[in-house]
Amino acid sequence: MKVLLDTCVSGLVVSILTESGHDVIWSGDWPADPGDETILARAHEEGRVLVTLDKDFGALAVQHGRPHHGIIRLVNLATRDQAAVCLRALEAHGADLLSGAIITAESTRLRIRLPE
């Protein structure tokens, strides 16, 4: 699966997801932060699921109708747990994500908002 990690997600997640077979880019490698709108637009243009800690992306998608190919928001996770929870969401709900689902992922549960 194609994934774009927001800057706030640990760069360590890149290698773990890549080793698991995912095509991953991390906005932390970009020269400057272009802002949420641009990050979400790039993820959509490239057919990537966006992974973030920032709830503003959900607002852009739901309240402002910005198109996307799925968003995973990691909540209350230690850096060392981000990759495992992200992998769990991608593996269990990849098809839902690509159809536009938004997943709020915590250490013990996933909440899924399917597209309308």
pTM of the model: 0.94
Judged against a pLDDT cut of 90, whether residue 96 lies above it is answered with yes
- Mean predicted confidence (pLDDT) in 92-108: 93
pLDDT tens sequence across 13-63: 999 999 999 999 999 999 998 899 999 999 999 999 999 999 999 888 988
How many helices (DSSP H) and strands (DSSP E) are in the chain?
A: 4, 6
Based on the structure, what is the number of domains in the chain?
1
Q: Which two tokens stand for residue 55?
A: 């709830």
pLDDT, residue 44, reads: 96
Q: Are 93 and 103 in contact (CB under 8 A)?
A: yes
Residue-range definition of the domain harbouring residue 100? 2-113
Backbone dihedral angles phi then psi of residue 9, each to the nearest 5 degrees:
-85, 140
Token pair 């230690």: residue: 78
Under the banding of pLDDT at 50, 70 and 90, the label for residue 75 is very high
Q: In this structure, what CATH number is given to the domain that contains residue 101?
A: 3.40.50
